[in-house]
Amino acid sequence: MATILAALPGVLAAEVTIAALGDSLTQGYGLPQEEGFVPQMQAWLEAEGADVTLINAGVSGDTTAGGLARVDWTLTDDVDGLIVALGGNDLLRGIDPAVSRENLDGILAAAEAAGVEVLLVGIEATPNYGPAYMEAFNAMYPDLAEAYDVPLVATFFEGLREASTSEAGIGAYMQADGIHPNAEGVALIVEAMGPAVLDLVERAD
């Protein structure tokens, strides 16, 4: 809607502010500031004509518990929308998915109470902790998205799925640690997730 209103003569569309609440993937770990997720997504949205400011509320190492602890002061009066991209560090630490689910539920409840539109971004579990853990972890994102009636991006790394089957492989788009995307990987992630974030901007306007 922001794009449509901006195109109408005599109608000024208010700028939308979106906070990206996340961990090192959101924060842009290991990259120059301008090559991180938030700056690249900001540039993508502006190229699509969106009048939006993205706030980088990513904290490296943060778990869902950390996100829950920060959500109230992240949701200032200026924030119109929230990208929730947490869970990767819960997975790395083997935190009980029931605990992670409860924390994400608290974040979504806080956004709902604040009247803020949300985009939930998941992370896919690996089989390291067994099939029961993987099933419980992977189920929490679609379950919560349905419960709160918010859109879901199944995994932050959706944009790298094609790369995983290419000749170069996914490693070409990752930093040396094998956990965080490099600048080219972030660009692919942004391209894949961009339409969902643009929809969030339009809903939040």
In this predicted structure, what is the pLDDT of residue 1? 40
* pTM exceeds cut of 0.85: yes
| Three-class secondary structure of residue 100 per DSSP | helix
Quote the tokens at residue 175.
Answer: 């930093």
What's the Cα-to-Cα distance from 138 to each of 88, 96, 124, 127, 133, rounded to whole Å?
Answer: 11, 12, 6, 11, 8
Domain edges within the chain? 12-204
CATH H superfamily, domain 12-204:
SGNH hydrolase (3.40.50.1110)
Asked if 164 is an active-site residue, the reply is no
80, 100, 180, 205: the catalytic one is: 180
Asked if 96 is an active-site residue, the reply is no
Asked if 24 is an active-site residue, the reply is yes
Q: What residue ranges of the chain have pLDDT lower than 50? A: 1-12
d(CA 1, CA 80): 14
In this predicted structure, what is the pLDDT of residue 14? 64
Q: Tens digits of per-residue pLDDT, 57-115?
A: 999 999 999 999 999 999 999 999 999 999 999 999 999 999 999 999 999 999 999 99
24, 80, 100, 205: the catalytic one is: 24
State which amino acid sits at residue 54: L
